[in-house]
Amino acid sequence: MILYRLNCNNDHRFEAWFRDSGSFDEQTALGVIECPFCGDRRVAKSPMAPNLAGRRGKNERAEVRAKEVAKQILQAVNTIRDSVEKNCDYVGEKFAIEAKRIHYGEAEKRGIYGEASEEDAVDLAEEGVEFSRVPWLSRRDS
């Protein structure tokens, strides 16, 4: 496994793990690597300094880095959630029904969000309805 520091064309910086350097190249060519902040698929490697400190303290550094990455992921998920809540209509458990209505021109075309069962998601995909699953974390007020 190899960790790369990446950046998108909108100058967001993030990290991602790959099986090897060839995996990064393949995924870049396919356009499947996506910026967790803005969704941009124009992603490139950022320069990284080699780890010359040796093995001493490696576990501590790895733990600190893992916490930093987890924090960045949570921030990105919250940014996505905020954007969806601000720009889309909440339709609750009627998501699949409303998504189909929009797809077939029976309802106003607009962004929506809500809940859908696994069966509903499969059905939507089979009908060619475009949708995305977004991790939805409970808000913590602290």
Q: What confidence tens digit (pLDDT) does each residue in 88-112 have?
A: 999 999 999 999 999 999 999 999 9
Give residue 112's pLDDT. Answer: 96
Mean pLDDT for the chain?
86
Does residue 134 sit within a domain? no
Per-residue HEC secondary structure of the chain comes to CEEEEEEECCCCEEEEEECCHHHHHHHHHHCCCCCCCCCCCCEEECCCCCCCCCCCCHHHHHHHHHHHHHHHHHHHHHHHHHHHHHHCEEEECCHHHHHHHHHCCCCCCCCEEECCCHHHHHHHHHCCCCCCCCCCCCCCCC
Does residue 36 sit within a domain? yes
Does residue 31 sit within a domain? yes
The pLDDT of 113-139, averaged and rounded, is 88
Does residue 33 sit within a domain? yes
Based on the domain organization, do 76 and 92 belong to the same domain?
A: no
Does residue 113 sit within a domain? yes
Does residue 136 sit within a domain? no
Does residue 142 sit within a domain? no
Domain that holds residue 74: 55-87
Q: How many domains, in total, are found in the chain?
A: 3
Give residue 74's pLDDT. Answer: 85
Based on the domain organization, do 65 and 93 belong to the same domain?
A: no
Tell me, rounded to whole angstroms, the distance of Cα 79 from its chain centroid.
10
Task: List the structure tokens of 17.
Answer: 């793990």
Percent of the chain surpassing pLDDT 90: 43
The overall pTM is greater than 0.75: no
Give residue 49's pLDDT. Answer: 61
Give residue 142's pLDDT. Answer: 46
Does residue 98 sit within a domain? yes
Based on the domain organization, do 24 and 41 belong to the same domain?
A: yes
pLDDT surpasses 60 at 53: no
Based on the domain organization, do 81 and 104 belong to the same domain?
A: no
Based on the domain organization, do 38 and 72 belong to the same domain?
A: no
